[in-house]
Structure formats: C-alpha cells, structure tokens
Amino acid sequence: MYTIKEISQMTGVTSYTLRYYEKEGILPPIERDAGGRRVYSEENLAWVELVTCLKKTQMPVNDIKEIVRLSVIGDETIDERKEILENHRLVMQAQMKDLKNSIKKIDKKIAFYNGSGSC
C-alpha cells in the first residue's frame, strides 16, 4: 500500500493531479484509511501508469474515463474496452505515418542546407 505522496514520487504525477483524476473519474475510486487518507494499491499504481501512458498518446479524456467506467463494471466489458484501445491505436498509427513523412521532408531540407541535395 502506498500514500498519495509515494505514488506521486513513483509516477511523476502530482498529488493535486491524482486527486483531480479520481474526482473526475479518470482513475477508479481509491480506498481510504480510517483517517480518510487515500491508500493506493498496486492495482491503483498500474491505473496511474496506464492513464499517464494514454494521456501521453493524446487519447481523449472521455475515452480514458470510459475505459475506467467500463473496468469498474467488470470483465463483461472487456470487448468494449479493447475496442476503444484498438481505435486509439489506429489513430496513433496514422499519426506515426504523418510524423514519418514529416521527418523525411525535414531530412531533405537539412540535406539541402548541407549542400547535398535538393529540396
């Protein structure tokens, strides 16, 4: 079990952001101790890491919330969660293709500036 401070240090996500994520449904509900303090489990840590990953890939917050909502419902929603992730993967693949094309154009321009090609 971890405190919010420990989770923050482990993930680089601020305590404020962790509280916000929980309040907004971006993370599943976090257990509390007798004093009302959040107590994070390994599963909660995995969720924070997944949310951080998905946000880095620019997955819409509503999609992240939907994955969390469906996960709380249970295993009968696995196919729906998988579909959200598969759709997001397709978007990411298209973005990667665009980025690779942009890198090629930038490389051509650099080669031009180096005097070894045309732009």
Specify whether the CB–CB gap between 25 and 59 falls below 8 A.
no
Work out how many domains the chain is built from and give that number: 1
Query: Are 33 and 25 spatial neighbours (Cβ–Cβ below 8 Å)?
Result: no
- List pLDDT tens digits, range 62-87: 999 999 999 999 999 999 999 999 99
Which CA distances in Å does 73 have to 19, 54, 77, 108, 114?
A: 21, 20, 7, 51, 58
Residue 7 backbone phi and psi in degrees, to 5: -65, -40
Q: Could you tell me if residue 48 is inside a domain?
A: yes
Does residue 32 form part of some domain?
yes
Say whether pLDDT at 116 is over 90.
Answer: no
Domain at 94, CATH number: 1.10.1660.10
Residue 30 placed within a domain: yes
Is residue 104 a part of any domain in this protein?
A: yes
In this structure, is residue 59 part of a structural domain? Answer: yes
Q: Which domain holds residue 47?
A: 4-113
Using CA atoms, how far residue 28 sits from 18, 57, 69, 71, in Å, is 11, 20, 8, 8
Give the predicted TM-score (pTM) of the model.
0.78
Residue 118 domain-assigned (yes or no): no
- Compute the distance between CA of residue 36 and CA of residue 18 in angstroms, rounded to an integer: 15
d(CA 14, CA 5): 8
pLDDT tens digits, 86-112: 999 999 999 999 999 999 999 999 999
Q: What is the mean pLDDT of the chain?
A: 94
